[in-house]
Amino acid sequence: MEITWLGTAGFIIKSKEGEIAFDPFLSRGNGQASPFSVKSFENSQAVFVGHGHFDHVYDIPQIASGTEVKIYAPGLTGQILKLRGVPSSRLVEASNKEILFKPFKMRAFHSAHTRFDMPLILSTAKRCGVHGCAHALKLGVSYPKGLVQTYYFEMQGKKFLFVSSAGCTEKELMMYQKLEVDYFLAPLQGHSHIQEIAAKQVSIVKPKVVIPHHHDDFYPPLSQNISVDIFREKLKQMSFAGDVLEIPLFKSAQI
Ligand SMILES: [Zn+2]
């Protein structure tokens, strides 16, 4: 099985049973250019969308038009993707009431977004300046977050949890703990203490392996690199017994 980190919250995961993707964001503005393109998804059967922010959905209409892939998105985000040109025949409502994609026993759970804290907002505003702030505001209006969902799936007997934003409630995390997750794909973005927040979530879910994502400088100056070393330290402080698998930007890992 191979897992490729596309940057931000984007992944392509391949196994003998098939290939799926999550939250692909390839445009990256002034960020390091992505080596991936629409062609990278030609063997993917499904793209799952965590929430509607631009860094999770911006490139999906183009990916849909150049491939046969099905797009699984929560309510409002699906409607917006339709307005942006994804044909209805390719859109599937990512309902949390049923198995979404049978080969991988894919399920979606209601989740929540991190609340941007004041120190993060102020430091981001300082980096962006007036022009950058106006641009960020426009992106926020054009790409509302909508419903935030976490996805659980199984591949080759391994259990995965994909979280698109680290706003999970304690109740939700306790439920994920019961699922006995092998791989937890944990986002490190959206709060000035995100490493501590994410480490706490990981220590509740207790996966065998945590794979950090979204910590790259995906759209500067709006974004910045987040230290995975600090995340490791926090995990250690919380006595996390599992492993950290850090996939370098745009690289793959065999798992
Ligand atoms: Zn977001």
pLDDT at 136: 86
Strands 252-254 and 2-7: antiparallel
pLDDT at 164: 96
Query: What are the residue boundaries of the structural domains of the chain, listed by start?
Result: 2-254
Ligand 1 centre distance from Cα of residue 89 (Å)? 26
Residue 156, number of CB atoms within 10 A of its CB: 10
Cα separation, 118 vs 151, whole angstroms: 29
Ligand 1 centre distance from Cα of residue 16 (Å)? 31
Phi then psi dihedrals of residue 76, to 5 deg: -60, -40
Ligand 1 centre distance from Cα of residue 112 (Å)? 10
Ligand 1 centre distance from Cα of residue 241 (Å)? 29
Interval 59-115: pLDDT, tens: 999 999 999 999 999 999 999 999 999 999 999 999 999 999 999 999 999 999 999
Residue 128: pLDDT over 90: no
Angle at 7 between CA 48 and CA 46, to 5 degrees: 20
pTM, two decimals, is 0.96
Ligand 1 centre distance from Cα of residue 203 (Å)? 22
**Sequence letter at residue 151:** Y
* Average pLDDT, rounded, for the chain: 96
Ligand 1 centre distance from Cα of residue 179 (Å)? 25
| CATH class belonging to 2-254 | alpha beta
Ligand 1 centre distance from Cα of residue 92 (Å)? 21
Ordered strands of the 107-110 beta sheet: 107-110, 149-155, 158-162, 183-187, 209-213, 243-244
pLDDT at 134: 86
